[in-house]
Amino acid sequence: MLKLNCDIGESFGIWKLGEDEKIMPLIDMANIACGFHASDPLNMTKTILLAKRFNVEIGAHPSYQDLVGFGRRSIPYSKDELKAIILYQIGALRAIANANGVDISYIKPHGALYNDMMKSLDIFMAINEAIYSYDKKLSLMILSTSKNSEFERISKVKLIFEAFADRAYSSDGFLVARSKKGSVIKDKNKVIKRVRDLVKRGVIYDINNKELKLKVDSLCVHGDNEEALSLVKVIKDVLDEI
Amino acid sequence: MLKLNCDIGESFGIWKLGEDEKIMPLIDMANIACGFHASDPLNMTKTILLAKRFNVEIGAHPSYQDLVGFGRRSIPYSKDELKAIILYQIGALRAIANANGVDISYIKPHGALYNDMMKSLDIFMAINEAIYSYDKKLSLMILSTSKNSEFERISKVKLIFEAFADRAYSSDGFLVARSKKGSVIKDKNKVIKRVRDLVKRGVIYDINNKELKLKVDSLCVHGDNEEALSLVKVIKDVLDEI
Amino acid sequence: MLKLNCDIGESFGIWKLGEDEKIMPLIDMANIACGFHASDPLNMTKTILLAKRFNVEIGAHPSYQDLVGFGRRSIPYSKDELKAIILYQIGALRAIANANGVDISYIKPHGALYNDMMKSLDIFMAINEAIYSYDKKLSLMILSTSKNSEFERISKVKLIFEAFADRAYSSDGFLVARSKKGSVIKDKNKVIKRVRDLVKRGVIYDINNKELKLKVDSLCVHGDNEEALSLVKVIKDVLDEI
Amino acid sequence: MLKLNCDIGESFGIWKLGEDEKIMPLIDMANIACGFHASDPLNMTKTILLAKRFNVEIGAHPSYQDLVGFGRRSIPYSKDELKAIILYQIGALRAIANANGVDISYIKPHGALYNDMMKSLDIFMAINEAIYSYDKKLSLMILSTSKNSEFERISKVKLIFEAFADRAYSSDGFLVARSKKGSVIKDKNKVIKRVRDLVKRGVIYDINNKELKLKVDSLCVHGDNEEALSLVKVIKDVLDEI
């Protein structure tokens, strides 16, 4: 079964972001911000309780330390420092989860850290080793690409491969950069067709309409606004009907 | 046996504070800063490794969030927010400890949070409940005062009572405020005599030279400079000879 | 003429707060956040440009340093530190203003700093002296109360007295605390009547319906949502008709 | 006359860095940290007063926003954001200076921002335009290299060219990277000889012992420790004797 995952809990102090209350009932996995790109201890608590209420699997969503940049800027860290900030954030979220009777089961890096992880094996391994040294049972969620088997070969922890139904893929099985034309698929019907193709036949069509065979465990959806929410509802219906 | 505890790991980024390398071999319990009043994930890692090397018991040293004020300013938090920041910091430190093969065993609040905890039962209970909800086996270190039994009666977790050999006590068994004359005892011989009185006969003399009978599990020492270090060495000798 | 002032530019990073684009055309004075309770250099630039577009007078809106608490928590600062954070924020905003061809003309402290200033003459004088030492031509906006003349007597800089049309006043001419029943007046017609009373006859009715004679230079309005905006439009009509 | 400049005021909160009290009397220009890589409003005030006491020219030393990384990590900013953070920091320092009866006269970017400015004309121009839009009379201090005339041609503000007597230069007139062997010249006598060559004959010898003819207005010195201080004293003697 293809699980739906969503970045969530990205409010900060009094500032609200995303329709967390509305998207939480629709998803299977909640990637919860840990205070470095968004959120704070109190918002993390609220998000944990919301995930608990809807019985949603909890993942830590750690980031480079950059609130004002929302973790979207690539910041160079030493390997030791990178491992340390990953552990710090995972542990912080887990303590809040445990104190509220639930636990985390996976890690999905955020923003620039996520992108850098997909481009640099050093960064991938730093994150990987941080998790493995801490708790071998935690999984790491990464982007499903043509390099899945390569990542699996070197990974010390279980990998969860995620795909995006609303993003165009290049022929080498990576996402087309957001800055390029056609990178984001806005036509709802096309997105739904892509979900069907992925679930029923395990394929994604690249930007040249060639088939990509990618292992996908989870689909990343968004809860930013009403339009995004209505798309998730349709995707959920597609998954349920299958 | 009276254990020596010390606030440690209070460097931040490139800024150094305290003679951590020199004090760690002399103490039994390390109260390690968690990034809210001092330290950062990389410095926390280094401090954990240092504690591990000298087989020192590890405690989390959480604080109000106030780097520029070093956690010394009293900031009003709601109960939920206070619990959340405590859990956040404990969990962050614990993950770094666990990933390096060690664990934390107790919590000692820092600075203004420590002082407020001793004055406000609401704050004491918020910290207490945060710890209890997270891990019943963790202890909470507080100041040994004439109210020890009262605190023990309401506490959900095991309490560790600490005393200061270099601080004057008022007749009601609390510390004389630092702003008052005679609050800090600088005469080394007097400090050593106080340690002896405490260890051999379980008493502390208050500022009027009256005996206070206080339960004391641990003595708080400092590693800020060479003078402080040499005092700790003498205190250690006193404890060893007994 | 009674000027309308509004706290504005309180977004932070990607997080939006308030309907700045809609409220700016309606007000006379913009109290612009300076990065300590809200905003950041880029958002400050955008807000300055918006104020410039609508020819709105610009005030600095400095705060205690507390993003996660939105400057609403009272934090104890030494007098020197308080003066320093006020100057830091004023100067930061002014440089951005000047680089964009405009200038600031007054200061209105934010949140807990504003409340503390009204309660503590030490804090009032610290802010006052900071401004005076920097630029004697800048004014300080404070709450109009029964103590206006007392504040005027000790102030080194020109004071601007502001009132709230939607807040109840106690008999001693201070605002009724938000936590008390009836402190916020939600009935639009009542608010408008209060504006009329204030503008035409210079009086505010206190919570016991007794007349208060207060000097008022400016009325504080809010741009948080559509309802707030529609109230400001009506207030503006009332002011225009007079 | 060759002026000595030094990065200064880089303490933060209770954390001390550098021998500011000892180096200030020896230098001509103080590059004062503005709170983004080091310092805070109160430390900025103290540093301003120290510069004032010794009649030292004051420059703003702005940085990327990165306290924990001490501004040494290259963080990508948009041009607008970069201009905004430069103005924010300059203005903050200037207000504190003005309130204490002095003023700033130049800007020297810090750390990664300085290095990026020397490598990227976009970043150089962003800084340049920020300063020019704010106050045409402020100068910008950059590294003296073989590209001085190129920088001067495009600069909108006056440039101050600085050199390092204790750093090796490559044949193209840039600094040899710190990571490379021989990049830092530790032999005091060699450093002094280089100062003499520079002051008397206007030349620096590159790493291959070839003469570089560079325009140099100021020499950057360091006040980190006693050794650095004693070197500065000798350099000052050399300059005085000439």
Q: Note the pTM of the prediction, 2 decimals.
A: 0.97
Q: Which pLDDT score is estimated for B242?
A: 73
Task: List pLDDT tens digits, range B179-229.
Answer: 889 899 989 899 999 999 999 888 999 999 999 999 999 999 998 889 899
CB pair distance less than 8 Å for A96 and B90: no
CB D127 within 8 A of CB D86: yes
CB pair distance less than 8 Å for B100 and A41: no
CA distances from D29 to C92, D54, D162 (A): 22, 10, 11
Task: List pLDDT tens digits, range D131-180.
Answer: 999 999 999 999 999 999 999 999 999 999 999 999 999 988 888 988 88
Tokens of B223: 């590693």
- Closest partner residue to D13 (CB to CB) among B16, B40, B67 is B67
Chain D neighbours (≥3 Cβ pairs under 8 A) are A, B, C
CB pair distance less than 8 Å for B77 and C75: no
Residue of D nearest to B42 (CA): D68
Q: Which pLDDT score is estimated for D160?
A: 98
Nearest Cα of chain B lies from the Cα of A219 at a distance, in angstroms, of 28
Nearest Cα of chain B lies from the Cα of D36 at a distance, in angstroms, of 12
Of the pLDDT bands very low, low, confident and very high (cuts 50, 70, 90), residue A57 is very high
Task: Please spell the DSSP secondary structure of chain B, one letter per residue.
Answer: -PEEEEEE---BTTB--S-HHHHGGG-SEEEEE-SSSS--HHHHHHHHHHHHHTT-EEEEE---S-TTTTT-S-----HHHHHHHHHHHHHHHHHHHHHTT--EEEE---HHHHHHHHH-HHHHHHHHHHHHHH-TT-EEEEE--TTHHHHHHH-SS-EEEEE-TTB-B-TTSSBPPTTSTT-B---HHHHHHHHHHHHHH-EEE-TTS-EEE---SEEEE--SSHHHHHHHHHHHHHHHH-
- Closest partner residue to D73 (CB to CB) among A68, A69, A75 is A75
Residue of B nearest to D66 (CA): B13
Q: What is the mean pLDDT of chain C?
A: 95
- Closest partner residue to D68 (CB to CB) among B17, B40, B69 is B40
User: What is the interface size between A and C, counted as CB pairs within 8 Å?
Assistant: 31
CB A162 within 8 A of CB A109: no
CB pair distance less than 8 Å for B68 and C65: yes
Task: List pLDDT tens digits, range D78-125.
Answer: 999 999 999 999 999 999 999 999 999 999 999 999 999 999 999 999
Of the pLDDT bands very low, low, confident and very high (cuts 50, 70, 90), residue A36 is very high
Q: Which pLDDT score is estimated for C172?
A: 83
Distance CA A110, CA A88 (A): 15
Other beta carbons within 10 angstroms of residue A179's beta carbon come to: 6
Distance CA B241, CA B196 (A): 10
Other beta carbons within 10 angstroms of residue D2's beta carbon come to: 19
Q: Which residues is A175 bridged to in the sheet?
A: A169
CB pair distance less than 8 Å for A44 and B99: no
CB pair distance less than 8 Å for C74 and B76: yes
Residue of A nearest to B34 (CA): A88
Q: Which pLDDT score is estimated for A179?
A: 85
- Closest partner residue to B134 (CB to CB) among A88, A90, A98 is A98
Looking up tokens 């309490």, which residue turns up?
Answer: B159
Task: List pLDDT tens digits, range A95-142.
Answer: 999 999 999 999 999 999 999 999 999 999 999 999 999 999 999 999
CA distances from D147 to D170, D194, D215 (A): 13, 21, 10
Chain C neighbours (≥3 Cβ pairs under 8 A) are A, B, D
Of the pLDDT bands very low, low, confident and very high (cuts 50, 70, 90), residue B108 is very high
Is the pLDDT score of D242 beyond 90? Answer: no
Task: List pLDDT tens digits, range D44-74.
Answer: 999 999 999 999 999 999 999 999 999 999 9
Task: List pLDDT tens digits, range D12-47.
Answer: 999 999 999 999 999 999 999 999 999 999 999 999
Q: What is the mean pLDDT of chain A?
A: 95
Query: Which H or E run includes C60?
Result: strand C57-61
Q: Which pLDDT score is estimated for A224?
A: 87
Contacts of B17 in chain D (CB under 8 A): 14-15
Q: What is the mean pLDDT of chain B?
A: 95
Contacts of D11 in chain B (CB under 8 A): 15
Contacts of A76 in chain D (CB under 8 A): 73-74
Q: Which pLDDT score is estimated for A118?
A: 96
In this prediction, what percent of chain D has a pLDDT beyond 70? 100
Nearest Cα of chain B lies from the Cα of C112 at a distance, in angstroms, of 11
Q: Which pLDDT score is estimated for C1?
A: 80
Identity of the residue numbered C96: I
CB pair distance less than 8 Å for B14 and D17: yes
Contacts of D83 in chain C (CB under 8 A): 45, 99
Nearest Cα of chain A lies from the Cα of D75 at a distance, in angstroms, of 5
| Helices A41-53, A79-99: inter-axial angle, 10-degree rounding | 60
Q: Which pLDDT score is estimated for B136?
A: 98
Q: Which residues is B57 bridged to in the sheet?
A: B29
* Series of mean pLDDT values for 10-residue runs along chain C (242 residues): 95 97 97 98 98 98 98 97 98 98 98 96 98 98 96 98 94 86 90 92 92 94 91 91 78
ipTM at complex level: 0.96
- Closest partner residue to A13 (CB to CB) among C14, C16, C69 is C69
Q: Which pLDDT score is estimated for A186?
A: 87
Tokens of D101: 């009866």
Task: List pLDDT tens digits, range B133-155.
Answer: 999 999 999 999 999 999 999 99
Q: Which pLDDT score is estimated for D224?
A: 87
CB pair distance less than 8 Å for D65 and A68: yes
CB pair distance less than 8 Å for D70 and B40: no
Distance CA A102, CA A94 (A): 8
Contacts of B68 in chain C (CB under 8 A): 65
Q: Which pLDDT score is estimated for A53?
A: 98
